Amino acid sequence: MTAPLTAYDEIAAHEHETWALAQVMGRLGWDQETTMPRGAAAQRGEEMAALEGVLHARRSDPKLGEWLEAAKAPDAKGAALLRHARRSYARTTKVPAALAAELARVTSVAQGVWAEARAKDDVAHFLPSLERVIALRREEASALATDGALYDALLDDYEPGTSSAEIGAMFDRMRPRLVALVDKVLGAETQPAALSGSFNAEGQMRLSRKLAEITGYDFSRGRLDLAVHPFSSGSGSDVRITTRVAEGDPFNCFYSTIHECGHACYEQGIAPEFAFSPLGEGASMGVHESQSRIYENQFGRSRAFSGYLFDQMRGEFGDLGISDADAFYGAVNRVNTGYIRTEADEVHYNLHIMMRFDLERALIAGDLEARDLEEAWNARFLKDFGVAVDRPSNGMLQDVHWSVGLFGYFPTYALGNVYAGCLMQALRGDLPDLDAQLAAGDWAAATGWLREKVQVHGGLMEPRETIAQACGFEPSEAPLLDYLEAKFGEIYRV
């Protein structure tokens, strides 16, 4: 006769099925961005709302609450699972089921409306959808917040354990050094030449696939497709990535691919026994972004690896119009005040995030309304970057995030850069021959270090604990800023 299930056993089985259903919903999102016919948007919205209703009911099931009260963790893994389950239950039970379903439906449809508006540079077409999304997220934040801090209630979805005050203080410390570096670099006599020419889409995708393999991305458990806004989706044995192609800008394709491989390799690297549980995904979006940014920048844009990429691109496309690997390294890391966040150089990138952080906090607080966002965006961009926005697709319509309700997500990008700076400092200490390996196109030791130190643990630890344990010191912005000043000071001779 088998022993009756304990409360912990009931929770583990319940979570397994819930997370399996969540993966199905994620696959619908991937399909929507890659292969779904445009005319199916309204139907997909209803499908997403129905699935969200099922998930909300499971996550707020009173039986789950009873089990959580009685459950005792059998080990450290069990304690972590209960920590996540209790947090999820506490949040989910505060949000009405009808609101959760409506958010899923509205954001699914709004995503398609945003894509149409972006293609047409038509802000007015998007505004009704954006206003509805903001209203729903404000309502959700009001249900979740215990002390009136609406934005923090949303931020907690993506970076548990931090607050907008902590993020704001970090940005205040970072901004002076970043602005000073921008001024030095843009005023330098040495200005690397940009890559120019036409690079066929087929060649870009062939090389992108090779780059993905170099990062360690496992194509037997994933695939590479095209999307308007590159992303990674899934976990465990089904982790998919997308990129985009512009024939005049192959770096956009290559570095988007490498970036998304950082996310995907994290998911593929999580211990298999954590699958179909809250431990089977990254510790937070900040930790997730640390993987994508270290892959893209500290590895992919390094002098060592850019030399390897130079040879690969010449093999694929022929003469690049750039004299040597050193000039190519300058082109890869060329600093300019572009409009697009995803194409921003490392020096400007965090300034893009700081702007979005301030704007979305104001939107959620009600200090800024959607109808005034374009004017506010353009004024802030001119102030921060010294360039006037020329069209909405280069301004407030460039990012998909707000259309799908991801308020509180943007600051995790900058936090990911900070974490990546810390990880790179620790990694270099352990791998003194890293540059030689990257120059040969061999990422195995570097990505193996990250897999062992960060990726395998999934959601076992809290975000800052994950990074602190990997690095051997508490994370701070100092390693990132030191790295940026050293790298770009050398390139621009300032």
d(CA 472, CA 341): 31
Q: Map residue 326 onto helix, strand or coil.
A: helix
Single-letter residue type at 321: G
Answer for the pair 23, 221: CB distance below 8 angstroms, yes or no.
no
DSSP notation for 123-151? HHHHHHHHHHHHHHHHHHHHHH-SSS-HH
d(CA 107, CA 48): 9
Does an H or E element contain 225, and which?
strand 224-226
d(CA 386, CA 396): 17
CA angle 468-471-477, nearest 5°?
Answer: 75
Active-site residue, from 52, 102, 159, 260: 260
In 234-324, where does DSSP find H-type helix? Answer: 250-269, 285-293, 303-317
The answer to whether 343 is a known catalytic residue is no
Single-letter residue type at 50: A
Long-range CB contact pairs, 285-288, < 8 A, 24+: 285/158, 285/159, 285/409, 285/412, 285/416, 286/158, 286/159, 286/162, 286/412, 286/415, 286/416, 286/418, 286/419, 286/463, 287/416, 287/419, 287/454, 287/463, 287/466, 287/467, 288/263, 288/412, 288/416
Answer for the pair 286, 155: CB distance below 8 angstroms, yes or no.
no
d(CA 209, CA 175): 36
Go through 218-254 and write b for each residue having 16 or more CB atoms within 10 A of its CB, e for each that does not: eeebbebeebebbbbbbbbebbbbbbbbeeebbbbbb
Single-letter residue type at 286: G
Residue 153 CB neighbours (<10 A): 22
d(CA 382, CA 394): 13
d(CA 394, CA 377): 11
d(CA 421, CA 418): 5
d(CA 458, CA 270): 5
Give every strand in the sheet of 232-235, ordered side by side: 224-226, 238-243, 232-235
Which residues are part of the catalytic machinery? Answer: 260
